[in-house]
Amino acid sequence: MVPGDHESLRDRPQGTSGALEGRGRKPARVAALSGTAFVVLFGVGNTLWAFDTPGLAALRLADSSTSEILAFYRETSGGIVAGALLSLLPIALFVIFASGVRRVLMDATGDDVLATTAFVGALLGMAAGHGAETLNMVAALRARAKDLDAALGRSLFDISQVLGFNAASVGLGPFLVAVAAAAQRGGTVLPRPVVLVAALVGISLLTPLSRVTLAPSILVVLLSPSPFSGRPPTRARGGSSRVSPPEAGGEMSEEALRKSAIEQAALVRSGEVSSRELVEASLAAIDRLNPDLNAFVTMCAERALAEADTVQPGDERPLAGVPIAIKDILALTEGVRTTFGSAVTGDWVPPLDSSVVRRLRGAGGIVVGKTNVPELGILPITEPHRFGPTRNPWNTARTPGGSSGGSAAAVAAGMLSLAHGNDGGGSIRIPAACCGLVGLKPTRGRVSVSPIPNDTIGLVSDGVLSWTVAETALALDLLSGYEPGDPFALPSPPDGFAAAAEREPGMLRIGYAIEAPNDAAVEPEHAAAVERTAELLESLGHRVEEAQVDFNPGPFMENFLRLWVSEVGANVRSLAAIAGGEVDREALEPLTRQMAAQAEQTGAVDYISAIGYLRLAARMGLQFFTDHDVLVTPVLAQPPLEIGALDPEEGEEPIVMLAKSGDFVPFTPPANVTGQPAMSLPLAHSEAGLPIGVQFTGAHGGDATLLSLAAQLERAQPWADRRPSVGAAA
């Protein structure tokens, strides 16, 4: 782990150093403090002045008796009540918009205590001003009731009006200060010149005393150089760190964060919840949970909030305003650091979005950050040396799987509801099984990896991790489609995948198997989960039978690893373009370094022979699907491993980690070789409370069938309400 990299995620705002943060917030703090002080002092001054006005003096001179005072109140109560209600208007407006006022103050100060102080000070100041105005109004009415000088009565009414206007100024002042500071920090939708003009107009409406006190603070904030102006440095654009988020939009947005991405978009569309509130709630959950789980390694909070502010009610995009995460490998993110889980890449910032990122953002998704991965996505765990291990929300001593472990942990913990992943040997399905989520590896060619070149035989497919089948189906609709230069391409069904998830699958021919293709031992609870699933499928009307899949485990694993090692070697070489020269092999993890060295010793004939064997094995394996629609197996042969379980023992070479991985995840690589769709569903839990995933592999191009079947199982045996103890909803 690079010193400071993970700590910076929590301790520094996006795109700044600590010193720059201090310079950026100082004007906002000064403005908020001076505005708060003015509010309190002016309110107190108003109150003191009210007790020394000509009106009260006239009442004292009148020497009214108690009975006369009571008679006066009876005669003039209507006027007093009307005046009091009118003067309450500024306070009523302040209270009605209290949540928004406090959020603006939080934006301005970046400090919860200071924002609360300013908020309470404003409220107290307005109450004091209201009290002063009411006292003077009472004095004026009583003076008139005593038939005192008419001129005196008029002047007393004038005093009441002035004090009422001052009370309104007391409320307006903190607004102007806060909005000015928020604009200076890049926290408003409107450009700074527009806010400047609005602030100047506001200043002109203030009373003379308010202008003198508040105007300097407002102008200092607006005219001081913004720490976020201009083009940020590369590291800043990478978003290697972020500011602690403003307070989330209350209980409603926290509740919304627990809903599916589809439901969240509907709430934003209806105006019931704003995208900013959702993103703030997501950032708050990440800030609270990430220190324990280490799901995110790079954040882009400021950009996410700015994008959220552009999403308005009525936005018809499928993911309008929904916070999402992107896995930190293969998926390039324009302007946001991409590391591939390796120290070799430094803080490289891609100049463009990958097609999957572009499509998700185009659908309205708001990228809040990038999630942890093992170096180059090699292992089925997520424990990169650079960033440290990601932990499973169900049991933090265990892995969330890999290589999409960061994305899975983020969704399972409730940091957000939808996260990108990719799968070259089980890297979506394995984390889904470990974390109790839905994870689909689409058919080869369904989703483009553009602009990254495809691996030789198309092992890798992109998808998402989610709690519900409907979210995964919608995401597949959004991600599917050809990109120029794709070597594999597959047309989408005419009615889409979301529609497939809504219809019944009909009677399917389903086989199930619990023996691992490499003869690895299978945990009894995982085998039992498959057998219970077979019974459930039969009860739903499907034709189910135990199946024997012809497989030659020895040559398959030998050739798969030869191809895998060669691909890793090619990936290491391609990192030179990112590293700006030759890759420093010593900066690679020992396993990656050994695999790269072995790849360089693999001859072209051996490499081509491995590809040929795997293609032949795929052709033979696909014969099973000439008379079956779906194959059901475990996803994992073992429960989620303890952190560090794959580490080599003393004296062992790093490459032993691959053999240990094969015993953990023997069921997932075949679908990557054949190119078939395969899906993990959280249909069981162990006695220890850990999720158990069941894998469903469909015929080539049978993504819609899998989604339809998965939705049927979800209705029959719902799982989304069962959440881990470590999470936003816990």
Q: Which residues are catalytic?
A: 327, 403, 427
Query: Which secondary structure element, helix H or strand E, spans residue 663, and what is its range?
Result: helix 656-664
Q: 3-class DSSP state for residue 490?
A: coil
Return the beta strands (E) in 397-470 as ranges: 418-423, 438-441, 461-466
Contact 373/390 with Cβ under 8 angstroms? no
C-beta separation of 322 from 400 below 8 A? no
CA atoms of 587 and 184, how far apart (whole Å): 41
Q: Rounded CA gap, 289 and 388, in Å?
A: 15
Q: Return all residues near 52 (Cβ < 8 A) that are at least 6 apart.
A: none
Is 356 in contact with 313 (CB distance < 8 Å)?
Answer: no
Three-state DSSP class for 696?
strand
Distance CA 496, CA 441 (A): 17
Question: CA-based Rg of the chain, rounded to a whole angstrom?
Answer: 32
Which residues make beta-bridge pairs with 433?
Answer: none
Residue 496: what residue type? Answer: G
CA-closest candidate to residue 625, choices 666, 662, 670: 670
Distance, CA of 511 to CA of 519 (rounded, Å): 19
Residue 695: DSSP 8-state: E
Is 428 exposed, middle or buried, given 0-12, 13-18 or 19+ CB atoms closer than 10 A?
buried
Phi and psi angles of residue 692, each rounded to the nearest 5 degrees, phi first: -125, 120
**Partners of residue 631 on adjacent β-strands:** 511, 697
CA distance linking residue 554 with residue 663, whole number of Å: 13
CA distance 322 to 305: 11
What 3-state class would DSSP assign to 459?
A: coil
Q: Can you read off the two tokens belonging to residue 235?
A: 């590291």
